[in-house]
């Protein structure tokens, strides 16, 4: 089997990596950047800090801080207008997965004339966009190293998944020092999202020899560091471990794929605005139990890698310990049940569940799962996660 592997051409990792922004932009030849971020990054002072650094280096900055959680086609259009108004030649993304995904879409729209919705799906973006440099502030969605962006189509109320190598940033500056102030709940949710990336990349039908080692190292690092990062936000070793896990998990799933958890998670986000990491975390134990029979040896390796069972445990016993271990991790990190997530009401859930199952299947992700579910099975799984 032939496999292709795409990552950013430059990845700078470690404490202080974000201070490489000016030299990296200078290397690319950027003169006027659009800084894509959100209101929190402005209020925290981080957007201002980077803007000042750029200004002092003679690089002009247009600020676009209008990205919302679950970024929309409207956010991308507004960002593109700001890029053109500012006469920009490049984009810098600062923040979590939402600003980074929005920035990826803005960057490709600078060079492609179609409507954003035309690029939904796999390998649909005709031309590379302007240069894109990304600075993640969470660990993480892994978006800084992936060729994937998820943007809500507000007309259809669907989270559009786009996968194309033109969505890859040129440069990722991965600086765990920016995550030292992440609050515990966010640490937990994006941390379990990272674990989901590792697990789904490893059990996916599209897993390759190039992605397996990255996925397994991601899984091991989350097992080692997530709870410490959640308990002690300033624990540098734990934050560095989680940042590395997020980076490796992103590289793994971007070149393998995600699967059922992400497929079922996006409709929850589109309809109820449950944050991406949280909706994945809520679904992970349930979807894993359903998927075990399709890849028992792979799931057993995941359980062993997380230290959830003895090295010589049978595949069946290891699979059981994995499901228990994932549910236990959620409980310790205080991840709520689906019914307890803010904004999820039973009546709307019941009336939406058929559309959610159809949208999950239409995204293509469940088709990569070890067991490919029917729409009826997805509806049942939503009910089990409730
Ligand atoms: Fe994710």
Task: Give per-residue pLDDT as tens, 310-351.
Answer: 999 999 999 999 999 999 999 999 999 999 999 999 999 999
Per-residue pLDDT, averaged over 252-267, amounts to 96
Give CA–CA dist 19/23, Å, rounded.
8
Q: Using the mean position of ligand 1's atoms as its centre, give its distance from the Cα of residue 139 in Å.
A: 11
Q: Encode pLDDT of 31-75 as tens digits.
A: 999 999 999 999 999 999 999 999 999 999 999 999 999 899 999
Statement: residue 156 has pLDDT above 90:
no
Residues that place a CB less than 5 A from ion ligand 1: 193
Please state, for a pLDDT cut of 70, what percent of the chain lies above it. Answer: 100
Give the pLDDT confidence of 9-23 residue by residue, as tens digits.
999 999 999 999 999
Give distance in angstroms: CA of 93 to centre of ligand 1: 18
CA of 248 to the centre of ligand 1 (A): 13
CA of 334 to the centre of ligand 1 (A): 19
Distance CA 331, CA 326 (A): 9
Distance CA 375, CA 184 (A): 35
3 state DSSP class of 151: strand
CB atoms near residue 4 (< 10 Å): 8
Quote the DSSP letter at residue 207.
-
Tell me the pTM.
Answer: 0.95
């Amino acid at each position: 089997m032939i496999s292709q592997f795409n990552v950013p051409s430059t990845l700078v990792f470690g404490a202080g990596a974000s201070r490489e922004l000016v030299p990296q932009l200078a290397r690319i030849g950027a003169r006027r950047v659009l800084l894509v971020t959100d209101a929190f990054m402005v209020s925290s002072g981080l957007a201002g800090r980077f803007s000042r650094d750029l200004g002092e280096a003679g690089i002009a900055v247009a600020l676009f801080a209008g990205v919302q959680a679950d970024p929309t086609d409207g956010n991308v259009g507004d960002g593109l207008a700001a890029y053109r108004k500012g006469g920009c030649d490049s984009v810098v993304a600062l923040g979590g997965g939402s600003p980074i995904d929005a920035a990826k879409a803005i960057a490709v729209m600078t060079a492609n004339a179609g409507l954003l919705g035309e690029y939904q799906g796999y390998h649909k973006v005709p031309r590379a966009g302007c240069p894109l440099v990304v600075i993640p502030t969470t660990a993480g969605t892994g978006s800084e190293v992936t060729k994937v962006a998820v943007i809500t189509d507000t007309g259809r109320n669907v989270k559009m998944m786009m996968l194309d190598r033109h969505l890859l940033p040129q440069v990722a500056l991965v600086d765990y020092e920016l995550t030292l102030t992440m609050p515990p709940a966010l640490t937990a949710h994006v941390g379990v999202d990272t674990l989901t990336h590792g697990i789904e990349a490893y059990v996916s039908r599209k897993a390759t020899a190039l992605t397996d080692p990255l996925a397994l190292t991601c899984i091991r690092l989350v097992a080692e560091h997530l709870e410490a990062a959640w308990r002690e936000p300033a624990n540098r070793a734990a934050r560095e471990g989680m940042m590395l896990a997020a980076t490796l998990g992103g590289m793994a799933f971007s070149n393998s794929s995600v699967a059922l958890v992400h497929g079922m998670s996006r409709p929850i986000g589109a309809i109820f605005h449950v944050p991406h990491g949280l909706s994945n975390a809520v679904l992970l134990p349930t979807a894993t139990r359903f998927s075990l029979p399709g890849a028992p040896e792979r799931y057993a390796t995941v359980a062993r890698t997380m230290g959830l069972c003895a090295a010589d445990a049978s595949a069946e016993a290891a699979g059981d310990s994995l499901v228990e271990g994932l549910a236990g991790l959620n409980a310790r990190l205080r991840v709520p049940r689906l019914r307890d997530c803010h904004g999820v009401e039973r009546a709307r859930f019941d009336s939406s569940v058929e559309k959610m199952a159809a949208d999950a299947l239409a995204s293509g992700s469940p088709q990569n799962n070890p067991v490919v579910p029917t729409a009826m099975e997805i509806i049942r799984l939503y009910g089990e996660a409730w």
